[in-house]
Amino acid sequence: MAGDPVTTRKAIAAAAAAVEPNGTDPRSFTLVNGVVLRLKAVPPMTVRAALQAKLGPAPKPPMIELSDKGRREANEDDPEYKALLEERNELAFEIGANVMLAAGTEIVEVPDGVFRPEDEGWTEIPQFFDVGLVLDSAIGRYLSWFRHYAIGSEAEWVRLLVRLSSLSGISEKEVLDAVESFRRPEARGADSDVPAPAAGDGDNVQEAAGTSST
């Protein structure tokens, strides 16, 4: 996403403020395209184990010689070290979000005209633009469908993460801080695997001719 940090913070704050009406089932979430999800708590140990398995050891800052002090110390301002640390933080966010999505959501209803994960129609546009989809496993296909087709805006994505995290005992502030860090333009650049923000909760649906919700 291109833009300044202030704009990013405002978008995140707006997403957090857009709460559902009183009485809304906290375990149900309806996407703007009409897909209804059932939400479930995600065991925190599952998220932690996935991070440990996928991240590997944290990078260490290089040592520099301080001739005036007669000793060596870690240089945490080293550009290469900071870039590696930022890359690791971004990967940690993506892994955590993917685990929450895969383990914490289940499709309840897909309306007519909207592709299901197992359909082929939704893959055409991402594949044409060489977007890396994972289609050879049920979980990979579900995550690809969700991230590159079903989610209509970043605000919707943030609200879903907040709801899932609340069910799993993670504070809203932790989620929003992580999202803001992940989406910060100077850290991410213009490209990101998280859907770009829209002016509102705009629809992002390709039409599925003849697709049934049953």
Read off the pLDDT of residues 108-157 as tens digits, 9 standing for 90 and up. 999 999 999 999 999 999 999 999 999 999 999 999 999 999 998 888 88
DSSP state of 114: S
Instruction: Answer yes or no: is pLDDT of 65 > 50.
Output: yes
Beta bridge partners of 165: none
CA 11 to chain centre: 15
* pLDDT at residue number 119: 96
pLDDT band for position 176 (50/70/90)? low
Helix pair angle (154-167, 5-17), 10° resolution: 60
Query: Cα 60 vs. chain centroid, distance in angstroms?
Result: 26
Domain ranges in the chain?
Answer: 5-59+75-188
17 pLDDT more than 90: no
The contacts of residue 25 (CB under 8 Å, 6+ apart) are none
Chain mean pLDDT for the chain: 76
Identify the weakest region by mean pLDDT among 17-26, 34-43, 65-74, 174-183.
17-26
- Cα dihedral value 44, 162, 86, 57, nearest 10: 0
The dihedral built from the CA positions of residue 26, 200, 214 and 105, taken in this order, carries a sign that is: negative
Spatial separation of the C-alpha atoms in residues 69 and 7, rounded to whole Å: 44
Q: Considering the entire predicted model, what is its pTM?
A: 0.68
Q: What whole-number percentage of the chain has pLDDT above 70?
A: 67
> Does residue 105 surpass a pLDDT of 90?
yes
